[in-house]
Amino acid sequence: MLKSYCFAAAILALAAMPAIADNDCGPAPIGPAIPAASDLSGKTIEASRAEVLAAYHQVKAYQGALQPFRACLKTQSDANKAALLEAQGKADKDKIASVQQSMEDLQKIYDGTVDTETQIANDFNALHMADCVNDTDPKICPKKQ
């Protein structure tokens, strides 16, 4: 339960990041809340499978939403690199500092999406492994060799 609260706090922090200036990509996609492995206890195998499958589809939808968002961040980053070269050519210290700050802000946003995606994947894997303790269907839970 505590993990869910911490994850929710991380998502809220990530959602607040797009308020940073120079981000025209909009807010970062918000990741799904993956049920904890303990949420499967007491459920039937079919109910557990359904919950894991629903979480899987939510993770895939989230990852699909991340692709265009990250592409937008890359486009902005590329524009910043070009602006930085131009500012350096003119020795415009104010512009250089501004563009460098924008580049750092975009990198923080990108890194935040990677951290969130990693946490979601880890949470899903933990859920799937917990489901495989009771589920013996080799198509869903292949045996480890």
- pLDDT at residue 145 in the model: 43
C-beta neighbour count of 87 within 10 angstroms: 18
Degrees, nearest 5: CA angle 31-33-39: 160
10-residue averages of pLDDT along the chain (145 residues): 46 44 81 93 92 96 97 96 91 91 95 97 94 86 68
- pLDDT at residue 12 in the model: 42
- pLDDT at residue 144 in the model: 57
- pLDDT at residue 54 in the model: 96
> Token pair 């460098």 is at which residue?
100
- 108-117 burial, b at 16+ Cβ within 10 Å, e below that, comes to ebbebbeebb
Q: How far apart are CA 80 and CA 100, in angstroms?
A: 8
End-to-end CA separation in angstroms for the chain: 33
Q: Which two tokens stand for residue 93?
A: 């210290």
In order of 10, 55, 126, 139, the CA distances from 110 in angstroms are 14, 23, 24, 35
Q: How far apart are CA 122 and CA 57, in angstroms?
A: 15
- pLDDT at residue 142 in the model: 81
pTM, two decimal places:
0.77
- Give Cβ neighbours of residue 88 (< 8 Å, ≥ 6 apart): 96
